[in-house]
């Protein structure tokens, strides 16, 4: 059998959730084009779609959004832990630890019946935003704010994170970013979640593993690395030379390249427009300008090789505008992706939850004589 390095091109299951056309740069959630969802839908509606496989009717969406809103608050023991975690710990490590800890307070942690999974999944989707916002407040030396049930998921997240009710424009921006990041097939973190869940471990364990996987700079952590790149470049005038030197050293430009897309990631297309909007309106133009030059200069070498900006390239400009420091960029990704992780776990379980256990081609030796320690 051929070895498929990185499991590239391996089809390990069937799924209705996500279609990615890597050659043409197209993306659909349950058949709906991503651009249309980002423009017209809400995070709550997309989450319903990812969990139920269809768009909700008006009353269904209202009930679903109310249900999510009611689940936002964190119990005191977890809040006490968040206060105790080291202030300088990375917010992704805080999220990973907090999700794991949530399992400790669930007396039915091990119940993975479909009904229990759905309930626990909704709980996690609701609480991810509260954990991340609480951590942001604590890092700023402030007390976490209790969630508000009268705001949408995106608006409440911004309210809890920044201590002020966002404008409708800001809430829409966050909503669009969450929709764009909610799902993406069997990316590394979703695959990690499924690999863990296929052992019939509990949901908290599978999601903790997924958070750990998303943290890496080759995956969700790339959005933070892009902002560090912008900071290192410093001024738009330095960007071209910086890119040329980087590529001459055979180093990677973060936020570019993708295992599946060999064309422009359609999410990056939407985020580029949103980043341009905030750059023009609110003066983040330097960051945006640097990215445009990096995209163009790196593109001269990388585009012919099918390497283009991915979802992590422009998102940071938007998150900065919404009041977040770069260490919160990947946690924001997680606040969105939790919906995809839960949706995939439900879908995979409904199929048969077959244990994931690939194999490797053995290239070692056999039947070696065991030499006693004193004779080696
Ligand atoms: C949400 C997400 O997870 S989106 C991805 C986020 N990650 C990043 O932005 C990190 C930067 N990008 C990368 O490291 C890669 O593009 C990956 C890991 C995302 C996908 O890459 P893969 O499909 O595994 O390709 P692979 O790593 O084998 O690279 C193939 C070639 O393209 C080059 N390449 C890939 N990405 C880049 C990049 N961003 N900059 C420069 N060169 C690159 C590699 O150096 C390699 O060159 P070589 O053949 O001369 O050795
Ligand atoms: O699909 C991937 O490999 C990575 C990605 O873009 C995502 O998870 O959104």
DSSP, residue by residue, 131-188: HHHHHHHHHTT-PPPPP-TTS-HHHHHHHHHHSSPPPHHHHHHHHHHHHHHS--SS-H
Judge whether residue 284 has pLDDT over 70. no
- pLDDT-derived band at 285 (thresholds 50, 70, 90) equals confident
Q: Are 135 and 91 in contact (CB under 8 A)?
A: yes
Q: Check if 184 has its Cβ closer than 6 Å to any atom of ligand 2.
A: yes
The number of the ligand 2 atom at minimal distance from the alpha carbon of 312 is 6
Question: Of the listed 258, 265, 284, 321, which one is catalytic?
Answer: 258
Q: Check if 127 has its Cβ closer than 6 Å to any atom of ligand 2.
A: no
For 182-229, write each residue's pLDDT tens digit: 999 999 999 999 999 999 999 999 999 999 999 999 999 999 999 999
Could you give the CA distance from residue 213 to residue 261 in angstroms, rounded to a whole number? 20
Residue identified by tokens 């133009």 is 285
- pLDDT-derived band at 232 (thresholds 50, 70, 90) equals very high
- pLDDT-derived band at 281 (thresholds 50, 70, 90) equals confident
Residue nearest to atom 3 of ligand 2 (CA): 187
DSSP codes joined into one string, 77-106: HHHHHHHHS-TTS-HHHHHHHHHHHHHHT-
CA 125 to centroid of ligand 2, rounded, Å? 19
CA 293 to centroid of ligand 2, rounded, Å? 24
Residue 219 bears catalytic tag: no
For 168-182, write each residue's pLDDT tens digit: 999 999 999 999 999
Provide the token pair at 95: 């999220």
- Global pTM exceeds 0.95: yes
Residue 184 bears catalytic tag: no
Region 84-111: mean pLDDT is 97
Please name which ligand lies nearest the alpha carbon of 183.
2
pLDDT above 90: percentage of residues in the chain? 98
Could you give the CA distance from residue 72 to residue 74 in angstroms, rounded to a whole number? 7
Q: Check if 42 has its Cβ closer than 6 Å to any atom of ligand 2.
A: no
How many CB atoms within 10 Å of residue 232? 11
Residue nearest to atom 12 of ligand 1 (CA): 257
pLDDT above 70: percentage of residues in the chain? 99
Residue identified by tokens 């912008």 is 230
- pLDDT-derived band at 153 (thresholds 50, 70, 90) equals very high
Question: Of the listed 219, 312, 321, 344, which one is catalytic?
Answer: 312
Q: Check if 259 has its Cβ closer than 6 Å to any atom of ligand 2.
A: yes
Q: Check if 310 has its Cβ closer than 6 Å to any atom of ligand 1.
A: yes
How many CB atoms within 10 Å of residue 370? 5
Residue of 215, 210, 223 lying closest to 338 (CA atoms) = 210
**Strand ordering across the sheet containing 18-21:** 18-21, 26-29, 32-33
Q: Check if 187 has its Cβ closer than 6 Å to any atom of ligand 2.
A: yes
Residue nearest to atom 4 of ligand 2 (CA): 187
Q: Check if 216 has its Cβ closer than 6 Å to any atom of ligand 2.
A: no
Residue nearest to atom 9 of ligand 2 (CA): 184
Q: Which of 1-5, 293-297, 372-376 has the lowest mean pLDDT?
A: 1-5
Residue nearest to atom 8 of ligand 2 (CA): 187
Residue of 204, 203, 205, 220 lying closest to 346 (CA atoms) = 203
Domains and CATH numbers, the chain: 18-168+182-216+329-351 (1.10.580.10), 222-321 (1.10.230.10)
Q: Which helix (H) or strand (E) holds 28?
A: strand 26-29
Please name which ligand lies nearest the alpha carbon of 218.
1
Work out the burial of residue 109: count CB atoms within 10 Å of its CB; fewer than 13 is exposed, 13-18 middle, 19 or more buried.
middle
Work out the burial of residue 145: count CB atoms within 10 Å of its CB; fewer than 13 is exposed, 13-18 middle, 19 or more buried.
middle
For 326-364, write each residue's pLDDT tens digit: 999 999 999 999 999 999 999 999 999 999 999 999 999
- Residue 32: phi, psi to the nearest 5? -95, 130
What pLDDT does 282 receive? 78
For all residues of the chain together, what is the average pLDDT?
97
Q: Check if 94 has its Cβ closer than 6 Å to any atom of ligand 1.
A: no
Q: Check if 259 has its Cβ closer than 6 Å to any atom of ligand 1.
A: yes
Query: How many residues comprise the chain?
Result: 376
Could you give the CA distance from residue 167 to residue 369 in angstroms, rounded to a whole number? 73
For 20-46, write each residue's pLDDT tens digit: 999 999 999 999 999 999 999 999 999
CA 25 to centroid of ligand 2, rounded, Å? 13
How many CB atoms within 10 Å of residue 77? 12
- pLDDT-derived band at 1 (thresholds 50, 70, 90) equals confident
Distances (CA, A) of 81 to 86, 129, 243, 297, 335: 10, 16, 42, 46, 19
For 131-150, write each residue's pLDDT tens digit: 999 999 999 999 999 999 99
- What's the gap between Cα 14 and its chain centre? 22
């Amino acid at each position: 059998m051929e070895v498929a390095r990185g499991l590239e091109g391996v089809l390990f299951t069937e799924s209705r959730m996500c279609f990615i056309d890597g050659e043409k740069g197209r993306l659909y959630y349950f058949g709906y084009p991503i651009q249309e969802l980002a423009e017209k839908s809400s995070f709550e509606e997309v989450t319903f779609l990812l969990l139920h496989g269809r768009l909700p009717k008006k009353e269904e969406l209202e009930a679903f959004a109310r249900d999510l809103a009611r689940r936002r608050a964190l119990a005191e023991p977890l809040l006490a832990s968040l206060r105790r975690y080291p202030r300088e710990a990375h917010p992704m490590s805080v999220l990973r630890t907090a999700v794991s800890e949530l399992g400790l307070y669930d007396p039915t942690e091990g119940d993975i019946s479909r009904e229990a999974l759905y309930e626990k999944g909704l709980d996690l989707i609701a609480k991810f935003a509260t954990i991340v916002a609480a951590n942001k407040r604590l890092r700023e030396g402030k007390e976490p704010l209790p969630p508000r049930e009268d705001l949408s998921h995106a608006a409440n997240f911004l309210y809890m994170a920044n201590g002020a009710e966002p404008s409708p424009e800001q809430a829409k921006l966050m909503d669009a970013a969450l929709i764009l990041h909610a799902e993406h097939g069997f990316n590394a973190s979703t695959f990690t979640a499924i690999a863990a869940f296929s052992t019939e471990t509990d949901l908290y364990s599978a999601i903790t593993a997924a958070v750990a996987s998303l943290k890496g700079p080759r995956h969700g952590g790339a959005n933070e690395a892009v902002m560090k790149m912008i900071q290192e470049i410093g001024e738009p005038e330095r960007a071209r030379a910086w890119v040329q030197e980087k590529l001459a050293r055979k180093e990677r430009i973060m936020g570019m390249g993708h295992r599946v897309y060999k064309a422009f990631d359609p999410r990056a297309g939407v985020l580029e427009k949103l980043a341009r909007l905030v750059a023009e309106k609110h003066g983040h133009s330097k960051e945006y300008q640097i990215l445009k030059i990096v995209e163009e200069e790196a593109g001269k070498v990388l585009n012919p090789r099918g390497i283009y900006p991915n979802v992590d390239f422009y998102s940071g400009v938007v998150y900065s505008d919404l009041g977040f420091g770069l260490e919160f960029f990947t946690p924001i990704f997680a606040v969105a992706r939790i919906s995809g992780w839960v949706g995939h776990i439900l879908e995979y379980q409904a199929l048969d939850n077959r244990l994931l256990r690939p194999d490797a081609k053995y290239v070692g030796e056999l039947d070696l004589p065991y030499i006693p320690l004193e004779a080696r």
